[in-house]
Chain A
């Protein structure tokens, strides 16, 4: 599962080479921070959670057997650290109930997105991801981080492939609904 380069880097870290660990952190920090930000919805908290994640990884590296991809292992620790934080502070974000979401016409959404400037679009997407419940944001983010590999996602989330598929479907609908609501609100603000 591990490439030679990864194996060398991990051996160096295990020997206590902190410089090697800084290379490891630099390699994964953006991915871990983005995942934490989408789960927690707050930069300060995400930074703390990402730091906790890397400290846990450093302490657990001795026991990493290499039976999954390093990235999958890193995401799993990051995901669990964020979930623990959510449980600890009992924070629940906007709850979008999929049963009450009206059917969103994706072609309309697509057109509306086309009309927006790139920067506006990115800001809107980030804002909507931040509004999703943590588990939905996680499932969508990890789907793309793991390059749509559901088997790797199974290891990260500890859920079966079928459950992940269902969650992904619901998360997509929630994201689309949140985007539509945000765009409607923006249009109302612009017009009135």
Chain B
């Protein structure tokens, strides 16, 4: 790098850059930034925060799983011991649903109930999204 030449180039660039003025952004630049900052602070207020954080939930799940494992191993390990085998697993629904035995429904009613159910489950995520957007906008 020839020092003499470098110096001349630097002087030339000084001249050029001296004549390159600073550019200005649009007039409402500062106002736009302040508005964005205020919107972001508002968003932070409405930001969803779960009651139990993820690590706590994982901890609770692990503790619960460990407790279940302990109970099964301690009390239900052998077929002759523990309360697990004493449970009656044959539920008898006869007295509860006996009134339904004579009931018949039309196909139209069946389709209506089915459609209602489908629409209900479709609307759930859609409504959730709408409500969240409204909260953010407010």
Tell me which residues across on chain B come within 8 A of A29, comparing CB atoms.
24-25, 29-30
Chain B contact residues: helix, strand, loop or mixed: helix
Decide yes or no: A21 and B37 within 8 Å by CB, A144-B17, A169-B1 being known contacts.
yes
Q: Is the CB of B29 within 8 A of A22?
A: no
Q: Is the CB of A18 within 8 A of B9?
A: no
Q: Is the CB of A118 within 8 A of B9?
A: no
Tell me which residues across on chain A come within 8 A of B16, comparing CB atoms.
113, 125, 175, 179
Q: Is the CB of B33 within 8 A of A55?
A: yes
Chain A contact residues: helix, strand, loop or mixed: helix
Least CB distance from A3 to B in Å reads: 21
Q: Is the CB of A175 within 8 A of B36?
A: no
Give the interface segment out of A30-38, A66-74, A78-86, A153-161.
A30-38
Q: Is the CB of B12 within 8 A of A34?
A: no
**Digit string of B17-33 for contact with A (CB within 8 Å is 1, else 0)?**
10111111110011011
Least CB distance from B20 to A in Å reads: 5
Least CB distance from B1 to A in Å reads: 6
Q: Is the CB of A125 within 8 A of B1?
A: no
> How many of A's residues come within 8 Å of B, CB to CB?
37
Decide yes or no: A173 and B20 within 8 Å by CB, A25-B33, A51-B33 being known contacts.
no
Assembly CA distance A169 to B8 (angstroms): 12
Q: Is the CB of B17 within 8 A of A140?
A: yes
B60 at interface (Cβ–Cβ under 8 A)? no
A146 at interface (Cβ–Cβ under 8 A)? no
**Digit string of A98-130 for contact with B (CB within 8 Å is 1, else 0)?**
000000001001100100001001100110010
A75 at interface (Cβ–Cβ under 8 A)? no
Tell me which residues across on chain B come within 8 A of A126, comparing CB atoms.
20, 23
Assembly CA distance A37 to B21 (angstroms): 12
A185 at interface (Cβ–Cβ under 8 A)? no
B85 at interface (Cβ–Cβ under 8 A)? no
Assembly CA distance A37 to B11 (angstroms): 24
Q: Is the CB of A125 within 8 A of B22?
A: no
| CB-nearest residue of chain A to B8 | A106
Tell me which residues across on chain B come within 8 A of A47, comparing CB atoms.
25-26, 29
Which residues of chain B have a CB within 8 Å of any CB of chain A? 1, 6, 8-10, 12-13, 15-17, 19-26, 29-30, 32-34, 36-38, 40
Which residues of chain A have a CB within 8 Å of any CB of chain B? 18, 21-22, 25-26, 29-31, 33-34, 37, 46-47, 50-51, 54-55, 58, 106, 109-110, 113, 118, 121-122, 125-126, 129, 140, 143-144, 169, 172-173, 175-176, 179
